[in-house]
Every structure is written in C-alpha cells, then in structure tokens.
Chain A
Amino acid sequence: NAGVTQTPKFQVLKTGQSMTLQCAQDMNHNSMYWYRQDPGMGLRLIYYSASEGTTDKGEVPNGYNVSRLNKREFSLRLESAAPSQTSVYFCASSEGRGRQYFGPGTRLTVT
C-alpha cells in the first residue's frame, strides 16, 4: 500500500531559487494538506484542499503556492526560497474531516 507519497525526500536550495514539492495519495481521499514541521514550533498547516479544484490558506501560507492537480495530487511551490523556509514538509490526506494519513516528508534546506 503506497498511501501518501512525497518527492523529493531531500532538497537543498539557494536563496531565491524555486521548486515544487509533489504529493500523491492513492486512497481516493477528497482532502489534502501541506504542513511544515520546525523544532520548537510543532506542525503548522500551510495550505489545504477540501476537494479537487479548491484550496485554502492555513496558518502559515506566506511564500507558498499550491495546486490541486487532480483528486490524487497536491503540489506545493516555493517561488523564491528563503532560509526561513528551511523545514521538513509533510503532505497528508483524509476523507473529509476524518483520520489524516501522512507522507514520509521532504527535508528542505535553503542556504
């Protein structure tokens, strides 16, 4: 069972570079989420998508954009990376407001 997959697993960027984090789920879930996890801050919601074609801001959306490409895929884009975006990024999915299933994470370093 693949569940929630994320690519890449690791990435190093220079300040100002752009990149897209990819997420896909095979559980036919309607809802998908992007979180970041930082030491001392816990997990914080960046953006979420309650259904295909809709996206909404979470707690920390500045500096990020998202695309819900189809029901399976939800991508997170950093247009101009900053050192403050160094973090571990997790994608998750759920059926409505039920249990959330997480991917393995992407470890991003911005120098």
Chain B
Amino acid sequence: KQEVTQIPAALSVPEGENLVLNCSFTDSAIYNLQWFRQDPGKGLTSLLLIQSSQREQTSGRLNASLDKSSGRSTLYIAASQPGDSATYLCAVLGGGGSEKLVFGKGTKLTVNP
C-alpha cells in the first residue's frame, strides 16, 4: 500500500528565505506526483504536476523535483513571501491505471514578515 510522508509537519521562516519542503513515498511505481497548496478553510489548489518520466517542473518561484528511484520529491520555494503561508500537500498517483491519488498529511508553512 502506498504511503506518503511529509516532513516537517510545520515550518516557520523569515520573509525572503529560500526553503525546501520534502515528500517521500514508499512505492516507486508511480504515474505522477502533484504538489498542492491549501489555505485555511479553503480547497486545494494544484501547484505543480510531475510525470514519472520527468525530473522537475517549475512555475514562477516554485520548483518541484522528483527522484522516483529513491521515492522522494522536493518543493523549492524561492524568496518566500508572507503570502506563501499555507499548508502544502504532496500526492502521488500510482501506476497500473490507478486513479487513486494518495496524499501526505502536509507541511504547514508560515512566512514571517
């Protein structure tokens, strides 16, 4: 059974810092991996999707990498801003035609002005 772990559960940084969020998964036979952002009391917003054949994806100040063989992904946020404060969730979609997205429990990020 696929398990997704995100460490740390919470992170507090000063504004302007570059930071890395970590995601690990137990079964490397994945189809894709997605990073989401969730603001308090809101739904999830998809940030980046990395196909299993890709190594990384970039969107603005966000860069996500994927190392399928080691079961790891990182989300790099450059020059963090208070508006980046949110919970970041990692989710993997398994191979073999599965449509079941398995989520980690998230990292709650606080960026202090």
Contacts and interface: CB of A to CB of B under 8 A. Distances in A.
A83 B100 CA distance: 26
Contacts, number: 51
Nearest to B103: A43
A97 B99 contact: yes
A102 B89 contact: no
A100 B43 contact: no
Contacts of B49: 98-99
Most interface-central of A31, A48, A59, A99 (chain B CB within 10 A): A99
A50 interface: yes
Contacts of B44: 43, 90, 92, 100, 102
Main secondary structure of the interface of B (DSSP, over half): strand
B31 interface: yes
Contact of A99 (B34, B89, B104): B34
B72 interface: no
B46 interface: yes
B32 interface: yes
B100 A45 contact: yes
Interface of B: 31-32, 34, 36, 42-46, 49, 89, 91, 93, 99-101, 103-106
